[in-house]
Every structure is written in structure tokens, then in C-alpha cells.
Amino acid sequence: MNAFEQHESSVRSYCRSFPVVFQQARGAELITRDGQRYIDFLAGAGTLNYGHNHPLLKQALLDYIESDGLTHGLDMYSAAKESFLETFHRLILKPRGMADYLMQFTGPTGTNAVEAALKLARKVTGRSNVISFTNGFHGCSIGALAATGNQHHRGAAGTGLSDVSRMPYANYFGDQVNTIAMIDKLLDDPSSGIDKPAAVIVEVVQGEGGLNVASAEWMRKLERLCRKHDMLLIVDDIQAGCGRTGSFFSFEKMGIQPDLITLSKSLSGYGLPFAMLLLRKQLDQWQPGEHNGTFRGNNHAFVTAAAALEHFWQDDSFAASVRAKGQRIAERMQRIVRRHGPDSLQLKGRGMMLGIGCPDGDIAAAICRHAFAHGLVIETSGAHSEVVKCLCPLVISDEQIDKAMDILDAAFAAVLSAQTATQAS
């Protein structure tokens, strides 16, 4: 029994899929204690968009630490925070016509940013009900968990998960069913039983839910629905944001203006705990300290986040490279689909948030195991864990992509041919 099994709770999970001890990491590579290298197609579940330990960010962080830069200061003013505020405003908000958004630094977890968003929406509107969607994932603290769909997590709540009305996501009932019209009918009907909501919380691409994609049109309709029924629109961009879909926010160019936006995961750029809520200025009805937390405003994260913004987001070139790589991966995946299961496999996702839907979770798990055995760290998502999910660093090289896709192709081949063999016998 190793130290982990001996001392750590059985709640540990990813380590069960990848039972090796990682020690170092660079870019898209994970390196174990005994020097084995893996291509990382998990990327901290979307936390490592700029790769592991990016040299520029690393240097900025080292410099800051060397200088005895303030590490922890609650939500006091710090030079590092000021620099981040200014940089995020200049490089992200302003160019996107979002100059009037304010930033709130919540506890450094995605779930805490969601808790803050839900609290604020309820406070501003004076209503408690919130609409969230099938297959949505928003975190595991009780306030956020109420909005999360996953039964594995909901079942562990131990207390009521209330004040959330669940609605069908885009295409949940197939391409022919307009789920926005359904919601509109329910909200128009004073005896539908759906209490007037404070807000809608939505992911533009559902990461944990299985790489389900909402179209720009659906998002626009959703925004109009929000305006019609006086609900706030919360975009949870924790996994899909920070460049993952080929633009900084997942909803760019869709023509919508969310009222509240949650960011975390790749926001620090270096894998450091960090979370932020963006809010339109007129919604800033917080009393000082009303929502708080010891680690809100992680200064190390301010430093790396600002450096990442300066490096990657001065212009569209990085985003363009993401779109190009996304295209490359999608083509390789499309080939896998065609080759190994044109009828049973399905390309899912958008940008560099892609995956292949398999017939069931056992198959997807077997494919990931096979891939790991050949040097690729990759995981599943989806209601039945049936989607093999490719969430590699956005800075990955074409060579690494190709190598990873070769491994994946072989894994699909091995598992699906075994599968076919079993069914035949």
C-alpha cells in the first residue's frame, strides 16, 4: 500500500485512472518520478490552457516570489492585483465592448465563483429560483451543487438542493425541439409551477456534461428570453473560457451580453487557484464583505494571470492558432469516427474542447486506459462518462497533437475491434 492509499481518503479519483506519481510537467507533457513522459490531454480539466509551467509565466512568478512580493493579503489592495485589474480591463474587457464589467475575486475555486453569482443574482432580483440546465456542471458546494445536474455529486449533498428549476439544454430533446420556446411557455404560464427565476446559469459548451454545444442562435434566444422575463443571464465560463473555444470567452461573436460571468480554471494561466466573477456595473449591489473568503485574491495568481494576458491576448493571433489546432484535432477525430464507428461514434464539442461520443461508458473507459498505457493522459465526460474528451493545452504543438491522435486512433481500433469480436462471438 503506497502513501496515497495509506493516508488519503478514498474520495481521490483521477489517480485511479493514472496510477503513476507525477513529478514534473512542461507544456503539454507530464513527467513521472521515474522519468516517464505522457502527453496531457486532460490539462487539469481545462486549467492548463497555456500548458504546464509556461516559461514566461514561470519567470514572472519566480521574480515576484524572489522580491518578497505580497503572497497573501485577503482583499487588501496589492500592486499585483492592481496590475491584473488594469491588464484584464485593457486586454480583455475593453476590446470586447465590456468596459463596464466589474471584477469580483471570490474564493479561488470555480464553485465559489458560482456561489457568488447565484447569491448576487438572487439579491439583485429579490427572487430565489434559478434556472439551470440538464447536464450542467457548476460545482459541488451546496449552493452551486443545486445547479449541477450530476447525480453522483448531487447524491452526496446530504441536505436539500432547492431553488433551482431544471430546463432542457440546447438540443437536449433533439435538433427538432426548440427548448427555448418550451422554457418561454413555462415562464409565460402563471400556473406552470415554475417560480419566476432570478437568473439562468448556462455553459456555452458543457464540459463535464459531455461536450454539448449551444449554438450562437440558441444563446441569443436564451438572452432574449432572459430580457423578456427579467432574469439575469449567468454564463459559467469556467471550463470553456480563457481561450478554450478559440476566443477568450466562449460566447464571443454570439452577440450576447451576459450579466454575470464566472471564470476560474485557466484564468491564472499557471494552474494556480483563482476565480473571478464578472458583473455588469449596475448589478454591483454587494455590501462590503457580504460574500467573502480567506483566499480571495491570490497574488501569485494575479501575477501569472497578468503575464498570461500580456503574452497571449495582445491580439487575435493566439486565438487564431487555437482555432487552427482545433480544426486539426477535429479532422483527426472525424477520421477516427469514420474509421472506427461512423454510426456509433460522434464528434462533439467546439474549438479545442472536443471529444468523441462512444456507445457507452465502458467503451470510453477502455479507450482511455489503452491510451494511457501508450503515453496519453485522457479522460471521459458526459452523463454516462461515454465521451472521450480531448482537453489538451492550447499551446500544444502539431507534432504532439499528431502523436496523441495516433495513440487515440490505436486505442479506438483496439477497443472497438475487441468489442466487435466480443459481440460476434
Looking only at residues 259 through 278 of this chain, which bind a second copy when binding is defined by CB under 8 A? 264-265, 270-273, 277
Single out the residue of 56, 95, 98, 102 in contact with a second copy (rule: CB under 8 A). 102
CB of 15 to a second copy, least distance (A): 5
Nearest residue to 40 via CA among 318, 360, 352: 352
Q: Are 52 and 271 in contact (CB under 8 A)?
A: yes
**212 vs 336 by CB, closer to a second copy:** 212
Q: Are 271 and 48 in contact (CB under 8 A)?
A: yes
Interaction residues for a second copy, span 49-88 (CB under 8 A):
52-53, 58, 61-62, 65-82, 85-86, 88
Q: Which stretch binds a second copy (CB under 8 A): 106-114, 246-254, 324-332, 392-400?
A: 106-114
CB of 186 to a second copy, least distance (A): 7
**104 vs 336 by CB, closer to a second copy:** 104
Q: Which stretch binds a second copy (CB under 8 A): 242-250, 380-388, 392-400, 411-419?
A: 380-388
Single out the residue of 36, 37, 196, 335 in contact with a second copy (rule: CB under 8 A). 196
Single out the residue of 21, 320, 324, 373 in contact with a second copy (rule: CB under 8 A). 21
**CA 419 from centroid of its chain's CA atoms:** 32
Contacts of 98-104 with C-beta under 8 Å, sequence gap 24+, read 98/257, 98/278, 100/280, 100/281, 101/261, 101/278, 101/279, 101/280, 101/281, 102/278, 102/279, 102/280, 102/281, 102/284, 103/276, 103/277, 103/278, 104/276, 104/277, 104/278, 104/279, 104/286, 104/291
Pairing verdict, β 37-40 and 376-377: parallel
Q: Which stretch binds a second copy (CB under 8 A): 134-142, 223-231, 243-251, 415-423?
A: 134-142
CB of 214 to a second copy, least distance (A): 16
**32 vs 321 by CB, closer to a second copy:** 32
CB of 128 to a second copy, least distance (A): 5
Single out the residue of 95, 96, 134, 216 in contact with a second copy (rule: CB under 8 A). 134
Single out the residue of 217, 290, 331, 398 in contact with a second copy (rule: CB under 8 A). 290
**6 vs 422 by CB, closer to a second copy:** 6
Distance between CA atoms of 235 and 278, rounded to whole angstroms?
Answer: 10
Interaction residues for a second copy, span 302-361 (CB under 8 A):
none
Q: Does 47 bind a second copy (CB under 8 A)?
A: yes
Q: Are 106 and 328 in contact (CB under 8 A)?
A: no
Q: On the CB side of 48, how many CA atoms lie within 13 Å of its CA?
A: 22
Distance between CA atoms of 361 and 65, rounded to whole angstroms?
Answer: 44
**166 vs 227 by CB, closer to a second copy:** 166
Q: Return the number of other C-beta atoms located less than 10 Å from residue 26's C-beta.
A: 15
Find the Cα–Cα–Cα–Cα dihedral 191, 193, 198, 204, rounded to 10°: -110
| Stretch 155-194: interaction string toward a second copy, x if CB under 8 A | xxxxxxxxxxxx-x---xx---x----x--xx--xxxxxx
**296 vs 332 by CB, closer to a second copy:** 296
Interaction residues for a second copy, span 221-260 (CB under 8 A):
238
Site size toward a second copy, by CB under 8 A: 151
Q: Are 223 and 233 in contact (CB under 8 A)?
A: yes
Q: What is the DSSP letter of 34?
A: T
Nearest residue to 378 via CA among 131, 43, 72: 43
Compute the Cα dihedral for 307, 311, 314, 315 and give only its sign.
Answer: negative
